[in-house]
């Protein structure tokens, strides 16, 4: 049994339902904002910040590679102008999308 058609359908439904229009280094695509993750500060640290890391899923069929420093322009909820984000690191690569950590550009 070939599951490629089912995977394609799931990808289209996910990006169609949760996706936001974006431009990745000039290539129009859609992204999905993922839940921000807060990393815990080590126990012995005197000073530390618990800062949520923003991450997004980017379609691989539109953008095959997302190197560090890639600029993503995306309009966030209720904003008129797009915000610029810079890829800080690659979190994971899946068959249908890249999961990247981004910082404000």
One digit per residue, the tens of pLDDT, for the chain of length 105 reads 678 888 888 889 999 999 999 999 999 999 999 998 877 666 666 666 677 889 999 999 999 999 999 999 998 777 788 999 999 999 999 988 999 999 998
Calculate Rg over the CA atoms of the chain: 16
pLDDT of residue 87: 96
Tell me the CATH number for domain 15-41+48-104: 2.40.10
CA separation, residue 13 to residues 10, 20, 32, 89 (Å) = 5, 13, 12, 26
Are 96 and 11 in contact by the 8 Å Cβ rule? The answer is: yes
């Amino acid at each position: 049994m070939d599951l490629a058609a089912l995977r394609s359908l799931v990808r289209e439904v996910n990006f169609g339902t949760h996706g936001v229009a974006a431009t990745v280094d000039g290539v129009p695509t859609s992204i999905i904002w993922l839940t921000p993750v807060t990393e815990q500060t080590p126990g012995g640290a005197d000073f530390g910040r618990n800062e949520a890391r923003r991450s997004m899923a980017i379609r691989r069929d539109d953008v095959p590679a997302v190197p560090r420093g890639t600029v993503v322009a995306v309009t966030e909820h209720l904003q008129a102008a797009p915000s610029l984000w810079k890829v800080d690191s690659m979190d994971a690569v899946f068959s249908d999308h890249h999961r990247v950590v981004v910082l404000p550009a």
